[in-house]
Amino acid sequence: MTCPPEAILRKYQYDALDRLASDTLTDISVRKRFYCRSRLSTEVQGAVTYSLFQSGDQLLAQQRFHGAIREAILIATDQQRSVLRSVDVNAPEASAYTPYGHRSGRDEFTSLLAFNGEWRDALTGHYLLGNGYRAFNPVLMRFNSSDSFSPFGKGGVNGYAYCQGDPINNSDPTGHMILPSRVKTLVSGWLGKVRANLRVRVGESMHNYYSVGPAAIKELGIRTINPLDPMSGPGNKLGSYSTRYADEPGVRYQEYSSGVTRSTVLDPTPAQVLFDATPGSELDRIYMNPRHPQHLEVHHVHQRSSQRNISNHLSVPNPATTNTNGIREPSLVFARIDSGLGGDIPGVMPSQLLRRITSGRIPGVSPAAIQRRYPQFFFR
């Protein structure tokens, strides 16, 4: 008995970095994929283009272009980046997954990404993790091929297992090794710090060590310095001081091992909450208009809250205002100042920031450098 000839259903092509660059279905035009670092950012199929918008690891939206037609959807995800809901002009779409990522075939998602923020192959229903490195089968709850890092490397003893049998608390974006949940990473590091801060009384200072994951270090801009420095703590831990002063009992100052100090109002009034949440340009307009219904609230807290917000805005550490050696770089500080002058930063009034500039009191930047950078504010 002769076997029928095998039919090719789909072709996959890879680029020089071993990433899935395109795939082709029979009788359908080729679909090309483009990446921003390790994340899928654009997909093009004929006259249709999909673009994904992300902030760090957080998925935000997707845009679809088809000729002159432009459609956009907002994306809601969980802590593992799984797309749970997409909202467009028509109606919201929702989806649910099993712990290993399988979802009902009746779910038709307009989003390119699905479980754990990964691209799903519509033909097989598999997730090609690592940008095409290995296919994960959510029905069988395992990979179709063994991990090259197994059994003696970080892939684990079982080269076919997904997330070592714990997909709830972990994910595997590379197809090689697990990535702990962002929530799990953040909570484990910050829980001790929060408890310690709550115990700080007026006039006292508390020094504590705490661990944070790479995601927290990147998002919060807090980094370790010399491991031998007493403020860095043992190993890869960070050190901090929580202080409350008698002359400002309602404010807590947090001094981090990276040399940064931030202040926080412990029990903000409604006026302070309003101030901190309003864009700076709008605060200026409210402050200059006595007839505005919120003028009194802004006028009451503007001096203290504005200075506190400006100091916090300019104190963001690496990579925003310091280089790899922990030294503040004026060019990066000026970038922070420019963002505040634009009026888009909540709680940072451009008029108050301008006064700080003309006074020359910018930490880490000399008055001469400030005048060279902003001569329009000094020489008129």
286-304: pLDDT as tens digits? 999 989 988 888 888 888 8
Average pLDDT over residues 26-31: 75
Crossing angle between the packed helical segments 280-288 and 350-359, to the nearest 10 degrees: 100
Which of 29-43, 157-171, 232-246 bottoms out in mean pLDDT, i.e. has the lowest?
232-246
Q: Give residue-wise pLDDT tens across range 121-161.
A: 888 889 999 888 899 999 999 999 998 888 877 778 888 99
Cβ distance 182 to 171 under 8 Å? no
Contact 295, 289 (CB under 8 A): yes
Query: Residue 221: pLDDT band by 50, 70, 90 thresholds?
Result: very low
Higher pLDDT, 238 or 174: 174
Q: What is the dihedral of CA 113, 117, 122, 127, to 10 degrees?
A: 160
Q: Indicate whether 228 pLDDT > 50.
A: no
pLDDT surpassing 70 at residue 197: no
The stretch 314-336 carries a mean pLDDT of 60
Residue 337, pLDDT above cutoff 80: yes
Per-residue pLDDT at 142: 93
**What's the whole-number mean pLDDT along residues 261-266?**
80
pLDDT tens for residues 321-331?
444 444 556 77
Tokens representing 243? 């202080």
pLDDT reported for residue 219:
46
Per-residue pLDDT, averaged over 353-380, amounts to 82
- What are the tens digits of pLDDT across the range 164-196? 888 887 888 888 877 766 544 444 445 455 555
Average pLDDT, the chain: 77
Q: What are the E-state strand segments in 46-100?
A: 48-55, 58-66, 69-77, 83-87, 93-94
pLDDT at position 323 = 45
Q: Which two tokens stand for residue 210?
A: 């705490």
Predicted local confidence at residue 180, as pLDDT = 66
How confident is residue 42, by pLDDT bands cut at 50, 70 and 90?
A: very high
Q: Which conformational region is residue 56 in: left (phi greater than 0), alpha (psi within -120 to 50 degrees), or beta?
A: left
Q: What is the identity of the amino acid at 115? A: F
Do 249 and 202 form a contact (C-beta atoms < 8 A)? yes
Highest averaged pLDDT of the listed ranges 102-111, 255-264, 305-314: 305-314
Which run of H or E residues covers position 242?
strand 238-245
pLDDT at 193: 55
Tell which wins on pLDDT, 106 or 374: 374
Other C-beta atoms closer than 10 Å to the C-beta of 18 total 11
Residues in the chain: 380
Residue from 49, 4, 53, 8 nearest 27 by CA: 8
Which of 140, 105, 120 minimizes the C-alpha distance to 23?
120
pLDDT of residue 127: 92
Give the DSSP letter of residue 377: G
